[in-house]
Structure 1
Amino acid sequence: MSSFAFSVLFIVFLATSLSVRFWLGSRQIRHVIAHRSAVPAEFVEKIQLSAHQKAADYTVAKTKFSLFTLLVSAVLLICFTLLGGLQWISATVFGWTGSGMLYQMGLVVAFALISGAIDLPIAYYKQFVLEARYGFNKMTHKLFFADLLKSTLLGAAIGLPLIWVILLLMEKSGDIWWFYAWLVWSGFQLLMLILFPTVIAPLFNKFTPLTDDSLRSRIEGLMQRVGFASKGLFVMDGSKRSAHGNAYFSGFGASKRIVFFDTLLARLAPHEIEAVLAHELGHFKLKHIVKRIVVIFAVSLVFLALLGYLKQQLWFFTGLGVIPLLLTDLSNNNAMALILFMLALPIFTFMLSPLSSITSRKHEFEADAFAAKYTNADDLVAALVKLYEDNASTLTPDPLHSAFYDSHPPATVRINRLLATKLEPVTFNG
């Protein structure tokens, strides 16, 4: 393939993804606004019109903001690639370091710092303007920048050694470097599953053991019924950052733990909390987590193999606006290949997004059915209604937008499916 042909292909895919995203976003906005004036019949006795309208306004605002950030990202992508931004960064770093591993690590760091600096005002606006406008932001400016510093230092401490190992494998391991890199990356991901709940997450939030004896007894009874062993029940101080509520299961092997946002415990009754937890345990017992990990590992192997091919192709670099350094030794361009691949891959795989959404929604239905088997389906319905209201989740998303993007089924579909489980036996294939 010629570099010109690849440039044209890149532009076509970028324009197509932008057009589809803006079309879906405009559909979402129009559909939500069109249904803003009335609560859906299924929820008319459960959710007030004011809450429904707040959810509609919040959804529209988030969608407009996402379209704006999408446009900014597209402009930056063009600037980094076809307009020579990465070429300039590469030449500047090369002038400081010369060729070799120091240049490659310097290129990664420079790109990460520039990208982070560009993303900062967008993240700031989202937190302190958009989220605050609808009453969800609880974060102080001090905490925002403390989180930024922690995440930057943590990313450097964890990410830079990993990148160095990957680049070393790319340089020293021959044509099948990508397989060794995949083994390293897979091991790293599994290690993070173990370390995240006990080492990383506590750097950002405070986790305290659940002290409500009545609730603890109810939850332990549920875990015994479903056959789940946990290293603890914890409450996370999510309220210091956001008014949104949630509960989640984290960890792997001996580090498994169940975490409740303090905002969730303050809002839901004990039997509703039990039902929400039963849903989360359903993901574990039905092996959804393992299945997702297997899919991620398989896809990453394919993508690394593809990168193994592309990094040897001159047109891959020049077609994205970069003239490789030292053409006689392409190993000096491994870091650039990683960055270009990371930038270009989402453009070429965007239309595959619904596949992930379809699988995720299927898992949500299965976890709901699992929860209805071990708890009262009405309790989970009641909890979901409260969560939809408290999180200002729209009850009337555009069906096509939802099918393309949403990892969870629309509220009406999900709750109607849940209520139907009370009328029929539930079976699982595991």
Structure 2
Amino acid sequence: MQTFTYIFLVFLLASTLVQIYLSLRQKQHVSAHRSAVPAPFLGKIALEEHQKAADYTLAKGGVGRIDVLLGLVLLLVWTLGGGLDWLDVQWRSLGWNELYTGTAVIISLMLLGSVLDLPLSLYRTFVLEERFGFNKMTPTTFVVDALKGTALALVIGIPVVMLILWLMASAGSLWWLYAWAALTGFSLLMTWAYPKFIAPLFNKFSPLEEGEVAQRLNALLARTGFNSNGVFVMDGSRRSAHGNAYFTGFGKNKRIVFFDTLLKHLTPAQVEAVLAHELGHFKRKHIVKGMVLSMLMTLAGFVVLAWLMGQAWFYTALGVSQPSTYMALLLFVLVSPAFTFFIGPIMAWWSRKHEFEADEFAAQQSSGVELIAALVGLYKENASTLTPDPLYSAFYDSHPPAAIRIAHLQQHT
């Protein structure tokens, strides 16, 4: 084996072992604290609800470990096992030019990945989520969503893949810069188009009805100077009992979206506090910072890919016998997570920092007390564990652990 093969295997196995280790730590920690509600939540969350959250977390963790191990096996099959090379040979046998062949290889791999992921997806939806009372999706809805998602991925994905491959082959030594600019422009276009043209393909969005909630939200938007295309309610209950709220779009196409499940469980004052938190992300420039960071990381990725594309060892060390632009792109996308996995804690820390800042904004502009009550309600309704393992949480969680987040809010209330 070549040197890079060993390097790849070391990073792949290390990242896999760390994921399994962290998952087992989470399992042990949550199990050890299952028998008692943490002190900050006594009287707010019943022991039965706390235990349901623990059991739900443990069940998801078990499926997650299977997913990690299957991902390891599939990646090795596609790379060192010769799977990509075999797929490449099949499409090359048709005699198409490299652009069409490369597009076919990438799209077929994407479709195969979706098919291979189907059993776990079905299990998560119709067994795990069903067992804990969250699944509201019917088999028909599942199939229709899958078909819509696949069709959308093909309609959008094929032109984008072809454009990137064409730039890689035809745009000279600065192709990576042009490809980055094209992908960035496409991402911004999708962010703008998603709320109005894509999301409605899967869910129904209705303007928030007049009433106390609407009055509170409109007053909050006015005093914080936030302009949007409206506040909408999404029929999330068609698929799941989980509740959520989010911003989407940008410019004049910005929307505020509440799941109908969230509105059913929170008081008007709590809904206002949740919106204030989301507004905090906007006012503290978290969304812009996230977009800029994503653009810079994508640019760095293209720079590395441009160098790797010209290295013969990059292909042979990963089981590919014939170098090509599309194989360079595929290999880079497939193997880079093994190397970038270890920067995950930095990204998670950055996200948690933003969550604290958004909470502080909500406490200033609305009510910290009501936000705490809303969070407790959401922890309860979503069966979110109150006792995550600290190391697991530091590595993965984009939001602070429940007890730490509540304590931070209390300091600013």
Hey, what does 2:326 align to over in structure 1? 335
Query: Matched residues in 1 for 2:30 and 2:85: separation?
Result: 43
Instruction: Give the 3-state SS of the residue equivalent to 1:96 in structure 2.
Output: coil
Hey, what does 1:40 align to over in structure 2? 38
Instruction: Give the 3-state SS of the residue equivalent to 1:11 in structure 2.
Output: helix
Q: Is 2:395 the counterpart of 1:395?
A: no
Equivalent AA in structure 2 for residue 398 of structure 1: D
Equivalent AA in structure 1 for residue 317 of structure 2: G
Q: Percent identity?
A: 52
1:251 to 240, 249, 252: 249
Hey, what does 1:427 align to over in structure 2? none
Hey, what does 2:341 align to over in structure 1? 350
Cα shift at 1:385? 0.2
Query: Matched residues in 1 for 2:28 and 2:391: separation?
Result: 12
Structure 1 runs of 4+ with >3 Å offset: none
Query: Matched residues in 1 for 2:40 and 2:346: separation?
Result: 29
Give the TM-score normalised by structure 1: 0.95
Hey, what does 1:411 align to over in structure 2? 402
1:266 to 251, 264, 267: 264
Hey, what does 1:229 align to over in structure 2? 227
After superposition, residues 24-423 of structure 1 pair within 5 angstroms as 24-324=22-322, 333-422=324-413
Query: Matched residues in 2 for 1:349 and 1:230: separation?
Result: 36
Instruction: Give the 3-state SS of the residue equivalent to 1:212 in structure 2.
Output: coil
Equivalent AA in structure 2 for residue 10 of structure 1: F
Query: Matched residues in 1 for 2:18 and 2:230: separation?
Result: 44
Instruction: Give the 3-state SS of the residue equivalent to 2:94 in structure 1.
Output: helix
Give the TM-score normalised by structure 2: 0.99
Query: Matched residues in 2 for 1:58 and 1:97: separation?
Result: 51
Cα shift at 1:19? 1.1
Q: CA offsets per residue over residues 346-377 of structure 1, 9 Å max, x none?
A: 00111110011000000000000000001111
Q: CA offsets per residue over residues 369-400 of structure 1, 9 Å max, x none?
A: 00000111110000000000100000000000
How big is the alpha-carbon RMSD for the aligned residues of Structure 1 and Structure 2? Answer: 0.8
Instruction: Give the 3-state SS of the residue equivalent to 2:112 in structure 1.
Output: helix
Query: Matched residues in 2 for 1:282 and 1:97: separation?
Result: 55
Cα shift at 1:278? 0.2
Query: Matched residues in 2 for 1:338 and 1:203: separation?
Result: 30
Report the number of matched residues.
413
Instruction: Give the 3-state SS of the residue equivalent to 2:133 in structure 1.
Output: coil
Hey, what does 1:327 align to over in structure 2? none
Cα shift at 1:99? 4.0
Instruction: Give the 3-state SS of the residue equivalent to 1:97 in structure 2.
Output: coil
Query: Matched residues in 1 for 2:95 and 2:34: separation?
Result: 58
